[in-house]
């Protein structure tokens, strides 16, 4: 065979392997760029990142999307107040999100900005498809609008004094010609769709909430404004600018080739999971599938709805002055310390409370004490009792069952987007291993087979922990991997290698600096 033939054969083998891989795609909400990234944005993005990494480890072909929501009245006004054009303004703020995500080790495959040309094409195509289907009609809008929410409210939704229920600020009265999406036509189709896809929304109780919203009756919603310039014009009536939520939701299909690359779109749509906060359920779980159905496209396969990370019981807001910059917290506890905290502080779906004491408390107990101690004990004793050369694990180790349980529990938890449950399972294994070492006290025993057996088992646990914890704390997992003498990166491993018995004896183990120096409480 010629050299070219070999290259072709290798390419074919890769293509076949790729074909066999399961595709898994996920998205975060795209964030408004009226202010810089805060803890709430970081929370959803870190959960998404850990889920993306879990699926890569599981061998899936992953597409992980995040980005920024840059049109609409809120941005137009914020830019004006800053004395800038909207374009100038968004060009300054959007990179702050991209940079923050880089610093937090977010492994997104794409970063979409709604001001990009590819997005304009997709929005106009989707609008046209819904219009051609007869689901968009001209009407007169008379009602109330909350600019920070970029949402229309009916009088029943408002707090006394015409205040927005989320921002507690006065809404604006709007009267103008708008095009409307005929959402009211979709009640039955949506209910039927959710009935056929009962597991599409996690956690479960959020699915009930969505069914309740639909059964409560759906009102047509406005999809255009004439009193606004900063947005994408409607393809059939350029006096109107697309309503920011219709524009924003479309980002999810823009990024997988809608309007530009039909083959790629067919491969990657529908998405596996949209990760969203509980405040944007209606737009994502009611408006969005209806828009897609109208255009003849499939709704998403899943939504994972998170609660809020509250600060002293309240949602962060500029007005309340309780906005926390995630980058300040990295300076305190490191990237992995922060990632671990947000992944465990709340069970995803419910609200959690952020507190500085909680951050330091979890850092000290789970990272410095449990994981940090285990790594330092094992590597130190392998140094002193085995000359730094790793003993092999035993096939019949008493820890093997705990490890198998942790692997299984991780898979089950990530399957339903429950990171705190996944990490809890891994930390149970860490605690069981610390207890095992305390019961056997290898540091007190004479060098020999008994000590080697205990340490070989503990090293194997560290290898498995490095794999299981990698989605949450990738840098630390890699450090553990290297300290126990393993080659390559955790990123290139596969979950199937986590099964007990994969640790090779004979590796050179090194002690190194403490992974997580204790912090003063
Ligand atoms: N731009 C829209 C989303 C469009 S998606 C097509 C938006 N942006 S946002 O920046 O205001 O909020 C984005 C997400 O951040 C929401 O899911 C919201 O729930 C989440 N969070 C904002 N503050 C939060 C907390 N304090 N805690 C957790 N998440 C919170 O809405």
Q: What is the pLDDT of residues 172-221, one digit of tens each?
A: 988 889 999 999 999 999 999 999 999 999 999 999 999 999 999 999 99
Structure letter (DSSP) for residue 20: H
Contacts 24+ apart (CB under 8 A), 354-363: 354/39, 354/309, 354/310, 354/311, 354/324, 355/311, 355/312, 357/521, 359/329, 359/332, 359/333, 360/332, 360/333, 360/519, 360/520, 360/521, 361/521, 363/333, 363/337, 363/516, 363/519
d(CA 152, CA 172): 9
134 φψ region: left (φ > 0), alpha (ψ -120 to 50), beta (else): left
Which pLDDT does position 131 carry in this prediction? Answer: 98
Round to the nearest angstrom and report the end-to-end CA distance of the chain.
67
Distance from the alpha carbon of residue 342 to the mean position of ligand 1, in angstroms: 15
Q: Whose CA is nearest to atom 13 of ligand 1?
A: 31
Structure tokens at 384: 């002193």
d(CA 249, CA 291): 9
Counting every residue, how long is the chain? 521
Interior angle at CA 316, CA 115 and CA 322, nearest 5? 120
Q: Which residues of the chain have pLDDT under 50?
A: 1-4
Which pLDDT does position 67 carry in this prediction? Answer: 98
Distance from the alpha carbon of residue 185 to the mean position of ligand 1, in angstroms: 28
Mutate to test the pocket of ligand 1, among 26, 27, 28, 29 (most ligand atoms within 8 A of CB): 29
Q: Whose CA is nearest to atom 6 of ligand 1?
A: 249
d(CA 293, CA 394): 56
Which pLDDT does position 308 carry in this prediction? Answer: 94
d(CA 509, CA 485): 5
Distance from the alpha carbon of residue 28 to the mean position of ligand 1, in angstroms: 9
Strands (E) located in 70-171:
110-113, 136-146, 151-153
Structure tokens at 234: 């409607």
Closest C-alpha to 60, from 377, 414, 375, 316: 414
Q: How far is CA 20 from CA 63, 71, 439, in A?
A: 16, 39, 46
Which pLDDT does position 3 carry in this prediction? Answer: 39
Give the pocket of ligand 1 (CB within 6 Å): 29-32, 40-41, 43-44, 69, 248-249, 251, 276-277, 279-280, 308-309, 315-316
Which pLDDT does position 315 carry in this prediction? Answer: 79
Distance from the alpha carbon of residue 362 to the mean position of ligand 1, in angstroms: 25
Closest C-alpha to 105, from 64, 75, 68, 143: 64
């Amino acid at each position: 065979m010629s050299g070219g033939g070999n290259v072709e054969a290798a390419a074919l083998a890769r293509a076949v392997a790729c074909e066999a891989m399961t595709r898994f795609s996920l998205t975060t909400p795209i964030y408004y760029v009226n202010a810089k990234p805060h803890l709430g944005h970081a929370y959803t993005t870190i959960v998404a990142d850990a889920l993306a990494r879990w699926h890569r480890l599981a061998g899936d072909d992953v597409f992980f999307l995040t980005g920024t929501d840059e049109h609409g009245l809120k941005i137009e006004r914020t830019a004006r107040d800053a004395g800038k054009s909207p374009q100038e303004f968004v060009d300054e703020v959007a990179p702050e999100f991209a940079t923050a995500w880089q610093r937090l080790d977010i492994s997104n495959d794409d970063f979409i900005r709604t001001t990009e040309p590819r997005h304009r094409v997709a929005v106009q195509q989707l609008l046209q498809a819904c219009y051609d289907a007869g689901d968009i009609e001209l009407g007169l809008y008379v009602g109330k609008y909350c600019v920070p929410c970029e949402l229309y409210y009916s009088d029943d939704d408002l707090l006394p004094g015409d205040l927005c229920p989320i921002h507690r600020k006065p809404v604006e009265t709007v009267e103008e010609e708008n095009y409307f999406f005929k959402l009211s036509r979709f009640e039955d189709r949506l209910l039927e769709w959710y009935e056929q896809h009962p597991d599409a929304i996690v956690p479960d109780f959020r699915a009930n909430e969505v069914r309740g919203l639909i059964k409560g009756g759906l009102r047509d919603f406005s999809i255009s404004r004439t009193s606004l310039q900063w947005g994408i014009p409607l393809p059939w009536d350029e006096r109107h600018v697309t309503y920011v939520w219709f524009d924003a939701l479309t980002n999810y299909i823009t990024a997988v080739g809608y309007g530009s690359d039909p083959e790629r779109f067919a491969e990657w749509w529908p998405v596996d999971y949209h990760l969203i906060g509980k405040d944007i359920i209606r737009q994502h779980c009611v408006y969005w599938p209806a828009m897609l159905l109208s255009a003849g496209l499939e709704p998403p396969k899943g939504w994972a709805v998170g609660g809020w990370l509250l600060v002293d019981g309240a949602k962060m807001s500029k007005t309340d002055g309780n906005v926390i910059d995630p980058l300040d917290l990295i300076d305190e506890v490191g990237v992995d310390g922060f990632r671990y905290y947000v992944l465990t502080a709340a069970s995803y779906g419910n609200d959690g409370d952020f507190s500085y004491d909680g951050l330091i408390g979890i850092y000290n107990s789970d990272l410095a004490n449990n994981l940090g101690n285990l790594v330092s004990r094992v590597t130190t004793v392998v140094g002193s009792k085995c000359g730094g050369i790793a003993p092999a694990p035993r096939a019949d180790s008493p820890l093997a069952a705990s490890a198998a349980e942790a692997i299984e529990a991780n898979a089950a938890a990530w399957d339903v987007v429950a990171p705190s449950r996944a990490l809890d399972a891994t930390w149970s294994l860490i605690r069981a291993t610390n207890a095992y070492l305390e019961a056997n006290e290898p540091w007190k025993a004479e060098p020999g087979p008994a000590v080697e057996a205990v340490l070989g088992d503990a090293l194997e646990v560290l290898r498995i922990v490095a794999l299981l914890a990698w989605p949450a704390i990738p840098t630390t997992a890699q450090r553990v991997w290297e300290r126990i003498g393993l080659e390559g990166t955790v990123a290139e491993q596969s979950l199937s290698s986590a099964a007990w018995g994969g640790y090779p004896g004979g590796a050179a183990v090194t002690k190194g600096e403490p992974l997580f120096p204790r912090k003063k409480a």
